[in-house]
Each structure stands twice: as structure tokens, then as C-alpha cells.
């Protein structure tokens, strides 16, 4: 059942953030910054937009999601647990050698994961294949692919973008988690991909730019993307790395590290007050 109440979606997104912090703290490693920045996007996808069910995780007509920035697996696991694909108790096993919840998502181990990812730049190519298969087989499902803004420095992304447009994949929606930071700092100082919107326009994408933390904006953007015909859509979501935890926000240092006990308690207290 799709949730349309904005306030309820906000509460779920906050729970997703709490799950992320619990995962990274218990796993003693992980990528909290970029997981927190995409929590609202994934919440809207899984609870408001996608045709999916935890009771039929492998349904042929289900919509597909590819987390191309696979290091943000804590966000994907968090939303899957909230959706009922597995128990939330399993989240504390994140990155344990015996756990199915590894640092990058594995479609062979985790129900609800549509593609194994981790090597940056490859997700859009896979999403293209899924979207093409849906059209060829007349299955009717949509495909969503989340890219990091640092990830689009990879050349394969632009080869894949050319393919998306060439085959008029209007059942494909790409989302850019544009938090402006990657592991080495601000993206324009590492390998400047701006202007992202004009680049995708030149590849014949429909471009929608939104506040990636405004649930209403996100819902409306996905609804608009459904109406676009004859070409793919990209949603450029302006986000904040580490969103929801004061000492993590806009800090590149929190791209990939864990929390000590004091930081963990502060992060949980801040999120629980929301």
C-alpha cells in the first residue's frame, strides 16, 4: 500500500536515518554521510512510488531500483527493513563477516536488492538493460537508479546516458544525490561535473531539479517523471551530506567512517527529537 501522507513519510525517513546510524555504529565501519543524504529519496521511492511488495519480492512486474552508489548500502538496508523485507533486528549485523548485510548490497543474499553494486559508474548501464527488457517483454515496470554526484565523474555514466536517450527509455528515472561532497572533498575541486543539469539536457534527458529533503518536492518530481514520454528523466536532488545529524552535515570527513559511543548517542538523541 502506497503512503501519501507527507508527515507519515517524514517519520519513516527519520526512522531510516536512525537505522543507518545503528548500522554504521554496530558495524564499526560504513558510509553514513551519503546514506543519510539519500534517506528521504529512498523513503519516497519505497513507500510512495514503486510497485513492490515484500510478500512478493521477486514479482516479474515489480519496479526495479539500482543503488549505483553501492557504498550507501546502509540507506538501502534501512528502508528495506522498514518495508518488511527482513527484520530490523538484522541491521545491527551490518558488515559482520557472517551477515548478509555487507558493505555493498548483494542481490543474491538480500531480498529486495535488485542489483549487486559497489564499483562506481556501473549502475546506470544495468538500469538501462532492465528498462530495455521491460519494454521488449512488455512487462511495464519502471526502473529507478540512484547515482552519487561524485560518481558521475566516471566516464561510463555518460556512455550509459547516451544509451538511455538513444533507446528513448521513458520508463527509466535517474536520481542524482547532489550533496556536493565526495571522499576527497567538494566535487568541483576533485573533478567538476557542473553544470549537471545542462549536461543531462545535452544527452536528451528530461531534467527536474528539487530539494532532496523536501518530501513533497520528491513526490511531485517522481509523479512528473511518470508523465514524460519518449525520453528518460533525471532528477537532480540537492541534498546535504550527513543530513539529520548536526556534526555530520556538510562534512566530507563523514563520507566513510564510524561513530564512537559519544557520537552515536548524540546522533540518536538528535534524530529521536525529530
Does residue 202 fall inside a structural domain? yes
Does residue 207 fall inside a structural domain? yes
Which residues fall within 8 angstroms of residue 136, CB to CB, at 6 or more apart? none
Q: How far is CA 43 from CA 3, 46, 48, 135, in A?
A: 10, 5, 8, 26
What's 55's domain CATH number?
A: 3.40.50.970
pTM of the full structure = 0.97
Does residue 16 fall inside a structural domain? yes
Classify residue 185 as left (phi > 0), alpha (psi -120 to 50) or beta. Answer: left
Residues in the chain with pLDDT < 50? none
Which candidate, 143, 144, 123, 124, places its Cα nearest to that of 133?
A: 143
Give the chain's domain count: 1
Does residue 1 fall inside a structural domain? no
pLDDT of residue 1: 77
- Domain hosting 160: range is 6-272
What is d(CA 47, CA 52) in angstroms, rounded to the nearest whole number? 9
Which candidate, 150, 149, 160, places its Cα nearest to that of 123?
A: 160
Does residue 92 fall inside a structural domain? yes
Count CA atoms within 13 Å of residue 101 on its CB side. Answer: 30
Amino acid at each position: 500500500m502506497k503512503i501519501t501522507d507527507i508527515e507519515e513519510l517524514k517519520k519513516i525517513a527519520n526512522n531510516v536515518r536512525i537505522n543507518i546510524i545503528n548500522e554504521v555504529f554496530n558495524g564499526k565501519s560504513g558510509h553514513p554521510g551519503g546514506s543519510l543524504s539519500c534517506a528521504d529519496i529512498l523513503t519516497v521511492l519505497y513507500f510512495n512510488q514503486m510497485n513492490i511488495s515484500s510478500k512478493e519480492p521477486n514479482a516479474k512486474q515489480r519496479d526495479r531500483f539500482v543503488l549505483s552508489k553501492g557504498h550507501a548500502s546502509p540507506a538501502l538496508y534501512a528502508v528495506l527493513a522498514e518495508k518488511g523485507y527482513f527484520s530490523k533486528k538484522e541491521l545491527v549485523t551490518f558488515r559482520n563477516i557472517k551477515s548478509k548485510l555487507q558493505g555493498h548490497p548483494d542481490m543474491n543474499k538480500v531480498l529486495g536488492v535488485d542489483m549487486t553494486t559497489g564499483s562506481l559508474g556501473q549502475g546506470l548501464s544495468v538500469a538501462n538493460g532492465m528498462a530495455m527488457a521491460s519494454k521488449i517483454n512488455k512487462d511495464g515496470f519502471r526502473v529507478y537508479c540512484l547515482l552519487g554526484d561524485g560518481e558521475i565523474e566516471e566516464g561510463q555514466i555518460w556512455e550509459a546516458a547516451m544509451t538511455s536517450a538513444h533507446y528513448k527509455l521513458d520508463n527509466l528515472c535517474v536520481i542524482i544525490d547532489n550533496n556536493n561532497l565526495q571522499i576527497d572533498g567538494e566535487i568541483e575541486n576533485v573533478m567538476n561535473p557542473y553544470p549537471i543539469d545542462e549536461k543531462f539536457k545535452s544527452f536528451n534527458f528530461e531534467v527536474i531539479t528539487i530539494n532532496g529533503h523536501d518530501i513533497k518536492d520528491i513526490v511531485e518530481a517522481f509523479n512528473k517523471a511518470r508523465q514524460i514520454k519518449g525520453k528518460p528523466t533525471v532528477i537532480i536532488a540537492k541534498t546535504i551530506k550527513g543530513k539529520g545529524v548536526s556534526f555530520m552535515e556538510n562534512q566530507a570527513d563523514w563520507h566513510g567512517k564510524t561513530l564512537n559511543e559519544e557520537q552515536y548517542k548524540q546522533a540518536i538523541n538528535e534524530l529521536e527529537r525529530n
